[in-house]
Amino acid sequence: MDGREDWVDIGSAEALAQTPLRRVEARSTSLAVSCRDGVFGAVSNACNHVGGPLGEGALDGDYITCPWHQWKFHRVTGKGEPGFEADAVPSFPVRVDSGRLQVNLAAPTRRTKQPHDPHSLARKIERAPGPLRLAGLSTTAMDPKNPRFSGSDHLLEAALESAKASGAETQLIRLNDLSFRACEGYYSKAAHACTWPCSITQMDPDDQLDRVYEALVHWADAVIVSTPIRWGAASSLYFRMAERLNCVQNAITTHNRVLIRNKVAGFIIVGGQDNIQGVAGQMLGFFAELGFLFPQFPYVAHSRGWSREDMEENVRIVQDSAELAQGAGELAQRCLHLAERLITTDHTPGRIMRGGRKAFPVAHKTKREANANE
């Protein structure tokens, strides 16, 4: 404490002692005020990470756990948990005077940040020179120990073969081979809690969806996603991935930042029964929201409809169909041709205001705290 004083009354000490942790506004400063064993603490409400509201977190002993991504700060000193002490949020002196809790706003400790190596996905998005690149994303689920023929995989492989034959680099990612967590809804806590790179990816080195982010955001010029139809929709693995891609779309919502630029998507949809157009519509809509563009006729598909549930025959038809394999190859070529034109003209924006949406407020930070976090 440097002797400066600006004591502000923030309420009855008895009443504040009833709640272990709460957010309190003291003039224009937002505080996380805590009480444990009769000892009060007051630290900045804004977490060092991306500004999460510490006062809405929980106490773990004397540490406040941020409700967004669980960073921890001492409730009295503001210092990070053991091992991360150099990461500190401002703490404020407190005193009880005539039954009232007061905070000295004039003498906070400094906010300090321990350098954290940024995740490799956070690097600048720049197309590396080289031939066109097509990523194939297989979303079918099967027992890896007892694999079976997959019509959607079969056609995806035909698409990649065609791309390779025309000189493109290709990469096949099977979601079934990756271990990755379901989206845990950080966005539902606050839009700014859903970060790029994905919060789960940053926190969990064992989560393997980083391969998909790397391919879609950094590596590929075009992507073809293949899916079976399951109960009239794309596969469950597709949706598990799609939910995790919220962080790519959310970069536009929170920062007007377009991560997917000059990239093209196409789809392969194979089902025993129908609803091809419904599945394609969902996939087109979702990938459009991410920022992908589409070639003419952006999907190839196969289904034999309600009255043809003879699946063995359905499999055989896909396996033997030269037309479907050719169609998948031509889809790859359409995707790559459009990608080449987009790369040459480079016309898609890096930033965009999304139609009709207001600039997004950073609700939990005072202006000073927001600046501190820049």
Q: Which residues bind ligand FES (CB under 6 A)?
A: 47, 49-52, 66, 68-71
Q: Which is nearer to ligand FES, 166 or 373 (CB)?
A: 373
Least Å distance, CB 370 to ligand FES, is 13
Is 70 or 236 the residue whose CB approaches ligand FES more closely?
A: 70
Nearer to ligand FES (CB atom), residue 41 or residue 51? 51
Whose Cβ is closer to ligand FES: residue 68's or residue 92's? 68
Smallest separation (angstroms) from ligand FES to the CB of 50? 4
Distance CA 49, CA 87 (A): 9
Each as own residue / partner, the long-range contacts of residues 128-133 (CB below 8 Å, 24 or more positions apart, any chain) are 128/219, 130/169, 131/167, 131/168, 131/169, 132/163, 132/167, 132/168, 132/169, 132/221, 132/222, 132/336, 132/339, 132/340, 133/168, 133/169, 133/170, 133/171, 133/219, 133/220, 133/221, 133/222
Minimum separation from the CB atom of position 65 to ligand FES (A): 9
Minimum CB separation of residue 343 from ligand FES in Å reads 35
- Pick the closer one to ligand FES by CB: 44 or 104: 44
Task: Give me the least distance between CB of 130 and ligand FES, in Å please.
Answer: 36
Residue among 70 and 112 whose Cβ is closer to ligand FES: 70
Secondary-structure percent of the chain, ordered helix, strand, coil, rounded to 5? 35, 25, 45
- For residue 31, what are its two tokens? 């505080």
Best CA proximity match to 93, nearest among 171, 211, 187, 3: 3
- Least distance between ligand FES and beta carbon 91 (Å): 16
In the complex, minimum distance from the CB of residue 39 to ligand FES, in angstroms, rounded to a whole number: 23
Opening angle at CA 132, ends 339 and 244, nearest 5: 70
Sign of CA dihedral 267, 271, 274, 275: negative
What are the angstrom distances between the C-alpha of 37 and each of 17, 44, 64, 110, 292? 9, 21, 15, 26, 55
Cβ proximity to ligand FES, 139 vs 202, nearer residue: 202
